[in-house]
Copies of this chain bind each other. A is one copy, B any other.
């Protein structure tokens, strides 16, 4: 039995507690003070992730850390150093790797079903923007929201990014612009395997959480659409109408959240690599910082510049 402590009592922390209680056999939640704690889930605010990670690592506890590890590359490298000295399990919370749809795409690509990937398209749009207070501390849309898409590009391409270019704007809410951020973006990347990536983001899709990917390759294409509550379709004088996508990440990724914790627990139990390590956390942040630089300097930016 693996004993896990949860740090941070926000929405995502509660999601993990519920998963562990009902869907993660072999693990249970304990208070942090308990000396029998095997690992911690860091679900507190981003600015605390790195320091708590290091503390936990040094105490010999396994760590599951929500994304992003930090907005600062230096701090992530400190976590890496700690891990070198104390090789506990470390997993970053890129939950979309565990989504049934994206897994099916990744598996098809990895199995060679579409041949060498040429073009990866990622659509990622939220149903509504966060509060302006949150926007101000979020690190900007690229480190807060697009970071999942950067990670997705790596997941699907099976390699790192080489270069990034951002075209972005404030189209949803001028207050987001006043807070120094953008809310709409089209992002181009070149991956190390030569494939090209097009990401499009919006902070507000009135029809719900829009999360689709498509990988086009030498031998075909694999794509996924959104999930809905049911497949019900109503045909009437107004048209043929199906349901909107599931509303937001809690609805869409509930199963994925449980799966990522099971994979973390499993890595502890079996003493194997976690599926998403500190390097994955690092690379996604580098891409986010490159995106910010591209927007500021209005030019394509090499990841190696970061």
Residues of A near any B CB (own CB < 8 A): 22-23, 100-101, 103-105, 108, 113-114, 116, 118-119, 121, 123, 125, 163, 165, 167-169, 171-172, 184-190, 194-198, 200, 202, 204-207, 210, 216, 218-227, 229-245, 298-300
Contact = CB atoms under 8 A, between A and B. Distances in A.
Given A22-B23, A114-B234, A232-B222, A207 B119 contact: no
Contacts of A103: 230
Given A104-B230, A118-B172, 15 more contacts: A22-B23, A108-B234, A121-B198, A163-B167, A165-B167, A167-B188, A172-B218, A186-B188, A186-B196, A202-B216, A206-B218, A207-B220, A219-B237, A221-B236, A240-B244
A159 to B, nearest CB: 14
Residue from A100, A186, A196, A245 having most chain B Cβ neighbours under 10 A: A186
Say how many copies of this protein the assembly contains.
Answer: 4
A235 B218 contact: no
A165 B188 contact: yes
Contacts of A113: 234, 236
Given A207-B221, A219-B236, A171 B200 contact: no
B235 A207 contact: yes
A176 B16 CA distance: 49
B237 A220 contact: yes
A209 to B, nearest CB: 12
Contact of A198 (B114, B200, B218, B231): B200
A271 B116 CA distance: 53
B202 A118 contact: yes
A205 B114 CA distance: 11
B243 A220 contact: no
A233 B200 CA distance: 19
Given A119-B186, A227-B231, A194 B169 contact: yes
27 contacts: A100-B229, A101-B230, A104-B231, A104-B232, A104-B243, A113-B234, A113-B236, A118-B171, A118-B172, A119-B184, A121-B198, A167-B300, A171-B194, A171-B195, A185-B196, A205-B235, A206-B237, A210-B235, A219-B237, A220-B234, A220-B235, A223-B232, A225-B233, A227-B231, A235-B245, A238-B241, A240-B244
